[in-house]
Structure 1
Amino acid sequence: MAVPKRKVTRSRRNMRRSHDALQSVNYQEDSHTGEYKLRHHVDLKTGMYRGRQVVEPKGDY
């Protein structure tokens, strides 16, 4: 059975847990449709990415 050899200090424990915090999602308002979308992602509704048509747009929602 695994047993720690030494006590893990509060500092070391909290430094390890610092990466567990939730990060905010990077939303941006689309200049064409005005809806919010993730940055650096294709807008699936219109099929546009950086002002170019890259994907065939999906049907009505």
Structure 2
Amino acid sequence: MAVPKRKTSKARRDKRRSANSKLAAPAISKCPQCHEPKLPHRVCKSCGYYKNKEVIDAE
């Protein structure tokens, strides 16, 4: 069985671990009614529309 010759330093270990923990920015689409940025597959917070239908009354 392979055994490490030297102890891996915290900096080297953490550098390797941090390469896999990048967060991706959320996808943002434009509302077809009011052209405000919104999350896809969700009701628009500014106008209340979803799939060209008014779902909630937003004022």
| TM-score band, normalised by shorter chain | 0.5 to 0.7
CA RMSD, aligned part only? Answer: 2.3
Distance 1:19 1:40, change over 3 A: farther
For 2:43, the equivalent position in structure 1 comes to 42
Matched, 1:21 2:22: yes
Query: Unmatched 5+ residue regions in structure 2?
Result: 1-7
Q: Please, which runs of 5 or more residues in structure 1 have no aligned partner?
A: 1-6
* Identity value in percent: 24
Larger radius of gyration: 2
**Alignment correspondent of 2:53:** 52
Mapped to 1, the partners of 2:20 and 2:32 lie a distance apart of: 33
TM-score relative to the length of structure 2? 0.58
Q: CA deviation at 1:20?
A: 2.1
